[in-house]
Amino acid sequence: MTKFQKQNFFQNTNESYELLPFRFARINGRVLLTNLVGEYFFTKDEVLKSLVDGTLPNDSDDYLNLRSLHFICDDQTQSAKQLLGIKTRTKLSNYSNLTSLHMFVISLRCEHSCPYCQVSRQSDDKLAFDMSYETASKAVDFALSGPSPRIKIEFQGGEPLLNFDTLKFIVHDAKEKNEAIGKDLSFVIATNLAVITDEILDYCKLHDIEISTSLDGPASLHNHNRPRPGNNSYELATEGIKKVREKLGFDKVNALMTTTDKSLDDPRIIIDEYLKQGFSGIFLRPLSPYGFAIKTKKYNAYGSKKWFEFYKTGLEYILEINKSGVHFREFYSATILKKILTLKDPGYVDLRSPAGIGIGGIVYNYDGKIFASDEGRMLAEMGDNTFEIGNLATDNFKDVFLSDKLLDPLEQSMTTSAPRCSECAFEQYCGADPVFHYATTGDFLGKKAESDFCYRNYNTFSHLLDTYDSNLETRSIFESWIN
């Protein structure tokens, strides 16, 4: 039929194109390009050069893909700019749900004496280290007065179960006050499970309270990390996990590991322990700087290099597990992949810019002090009150969120304008961690070339993208993790 035009009739004869904002990095001999909203493309050095020169042929696959992914636009695709605008807006709107995680430190007392813990006290002095009803009630008012439609109250310590009366008080108080407000309210207790009882579990069942516990690995490692009288932290934790599952349901308990330098020896034994306990995944958590770097105020790349090796070995091992047909996630990777592959923000506090402090979660200390993050509270225990952003006795939600004590670190740590970050191909996935940088370098922004945080993130992003993009099987495993 002659009425139809051939394909080449529709080929664009105008060969000029316009570059859209993008950044690049080199990974394993390939060049990674990321655009304004974090969409990415792997290519070769020559393509990057001709792309920037304006000489990329408009019928090449690279051209078609780069145009579809909004690295360039031409007179066929003027809509690209508007679409990028919409995507930018979508990403920004992730920040509109201000503060849904509220951490209530209801007791500093603990029967464990973990060496890396800066906050707990071995004491029976309830008056000195427990949250009072009066403070608790103010904290509930404060939490419910924020704009977020979802409120998660997390009980923290020390060991929060040592102050179970206040815990019950808060649950009742929050539920009662919320009746008129109608937010989606949920509760979780962060406990080592050593002192859990049937009575407590019955209560949790009644009020649909979830349990988050600690499991650092097999008995030898866990008990080494977590000394307590009897040296049986592991036994109590695993029995506790069983009990919670029987009473509350299998998925009502999750576990977090604290990564210490002893953990770094072999991630596999830790992963095996999580598998054995029936968990559907593990969070290979970054090394907490608070036992190491903060005390010495000295940058120590050793820690994060070793962690990165630990993480890579662990991830590799977990991928093998998945390939054998067992669905098991690594939550840190899953969080980052979600940021890379979608416009949604998984809300991981350390990977947000503006930073997640205050906005991502807020801490009410037993004595009524308000902290911008859990790490900020730990810093205060070590004598530095920089991240104490208010006090329940005197401040309301608005006071705290508009205070310079919160806004200064947020503003000063923004990655979009920071040296290095502003040119970094991973900036869209990364975040600002003003508490970490303040603790290690004394300023909120930190020097990224020397930053442990940057080292860890830069390498993790590179590694994940490279792995995701090189192997179809791995790709589909990763994709199953982010759903």
Partner 1 sequence: MLQLRGSTKDFHCDFIGHKMLIISDDSSLPFPLREKYAYILKENIDTNLPDGFGAYISQNASVFSTSKHKNWFHIPQYMDYMEAGDIINFKDDGSIWAIFRSNAKYNTFLLTERCNHYCLMCSQPPKSKEDSWLLERAMEAIELIPRDTVRMGFSGGEPTIYKEKLIDLVEKCRGYLPQTAIDILSNGRAFSDPEYARLLHKIDHPNCMICIPIYSDVPEIHNYVVQSEDAFDETIQGILNLKALNQKVEIRIVIHQQTIGRLVETCEYISRNLLFVDHVALMGLEITGFTRANLPDLWIDPYDYKDTLSQAVAVLNRSKINNSVYNHQLCTVNPDVEDNYVHSISDWKNEYLDECNKCSRKHECGGFFSSQILYKHSDHIKAFS
Partner 2 sequence: MSSSLNFDSQCTSLEAIKKAAYVFSDRCALDISEDESSYICKIIPKKDSTIDNYEDFEIEFRNEVLDQELRIEIANKTDGVKNLILAFAFSKSGLSDND
Our CB check for partner 2 shows the closer of 24 and 444 to be: 24
Helix spans in 382-433 (H):
397-401, 404-412
Amino acid identity, position 289: P
- Cα(408)–Cα(412) distance, rounded to whole angstroms? 6
At its nearest, how many Å lie between partner 1 and the CB of residue 87? 7
| Size (the chain), residues | 483
Taking the complex as a whole, the smallest distance from the CB of residue 49 to partner 2 amounts, in Å, to: 8
- Residue with the two structure tokens 């990777």: 333
Cα 12 to Cα 78: distance, rounded to the nearest angstrom:
14
Query: Closest distance between ligand SF4 and the C-beta of residue 267, in Å?
Result: 22
Residue 7 C-beta: closest distance to partner 1, Å:
5
Contact flags string 437-456 toward ligand SF4, x per CB under 6 A? -----------x-----x--
Q: How far is the CB of 311 from ligand SF4 (least distance, A)?
A: 15
Cβ proximity to partner 1: between 60 and 145 the closer is 60
Q: Catalog residues that contact partner 1 under the rule CB under 8 A.
A: 1, 3-5, 7, 9-12, 39, 64-65, 67-68, 76-79, 82-83, 86-87, 90, 342-343, 479, 482-483
Minimum distance from residue 261 beta carbon to partner 1 (Å): 38
Q: How many CB atoms lie within 10 A of CB 466?
A: 15
Per CB under 8 A, contacts with partner 2 among 131-170 are none
Rounded CA separation 210/200 (Å):
12
A 10 A CB-CB count for 44 gives 12
Query: Nearer Cβ to partner 1, position 83 or 382?
Result: 83
Cα gap 384→378, rounded to integer Å: 9
- Tokens describing residue 299: 């940058």
Which part of the chain contacts partner 2 (CB under 8 A), choosing from 22-30, 188-196, 218-226, 432-440? 22-30
Q: Could you say whether residue 304 binds ligand SF4 (CB under 6 A)?
A: no
State the binding partner of 483 from ligand SF4, partner 2, partner 1, none, CB within 5 to 8 A by kind: partner 1
The one among 52, 181, 269, 393 contacting partner 2 by CB under 8 A: 52
How far is CA 196 from each of CA 185, 210, 220, rounded to the nearest angstrom?
23, 13, 22
52 binds, among partner 2, ligand SF4, partner 1, none (CB under 5 to 8 A by kind): partner 2
Complex with ligand SF4: residue 345 or 427, whichever CB lies closer: 427
Residue nearer to ligand SF4 on the CB measure, 191 or 304: 304
Amino acid at 221: L
Yes or no: say if 211 and 187 are a contact pair by the CB < 8 Å rule: no
CA 91 from chain centre, in angstroms, equals: 16
Query: Judged by CB, which is closer to partner 1: 78, or 145?
Result: 78
b/e map of 59-69 (b: 16 or more CB within 10 Å)? eeebbeebbeb
Per-residue binder mask for partner 2 (CB under 8 A), 266-305, x = binder: -----------------------------------x----
Q: Which does 22 bind (CB under 5 to 8 A by kind): ligand SF4, partner 2, partner 1, none?
A: partner 2
b/e burial code for range 317-338 (CB count within 10 A of at least 16 → b): bbbebbeeeeebbbbbbbbbbb
Phi, psi of 438 (to 5 degrees): -65, -45
Per DSSP, the three-state class of 391 is strand
- Segments in 208-354 forming alpha helices (H): 219-225, 233-248, 267-276, 293-296, 301-323, 331-341
15 near partner 2, rule: CB under 8 A? no
Shortest Å distance, C-beta 62 to partner 1: 13
Task: Residue 402: name the closest of 140, 146, 90 by CA.
Answer: 146
The site partner of 81 among partner 1, partner 2, ligand SF4, none (C-beta below 5 to 8 Å per kind) is partner 2
Interface with ligand SF4, residue 426, by CB under 6 A: yes
Peptide bond into 278 cis (omega under 30): no
Handedness of CA 426, 429, 434, 436 (dihedral sign): negative
Q: Count other Cβ atoms within 10 Å, centred on residue 255.
A: 21
Decide if residue 420 touches ligand SF4 (CB under 6 A). yes
Residue with token string 């980052």: 336
Q: Which is nearer to ligand SF4, 159 or 427 (CB)?
A: 427
Q: Is 306 in the site for partner 2 (CB under 8 A)?
A: no
Cα dihedral 83, 345, 92, 101, rounded to 10, equals 160
Positions that interact with partner 2 (CB under 8 A):
18-24, 26, 36, 48-49, 52, 81-82, 84-90, 92-94, 301, 343-344, 419-420, 423, 447, 449-450
Positions that interact with ligand SF4 (CB under 6 A):
415, 420-421, 424, 426-427, 430, 448, 454, 457-458
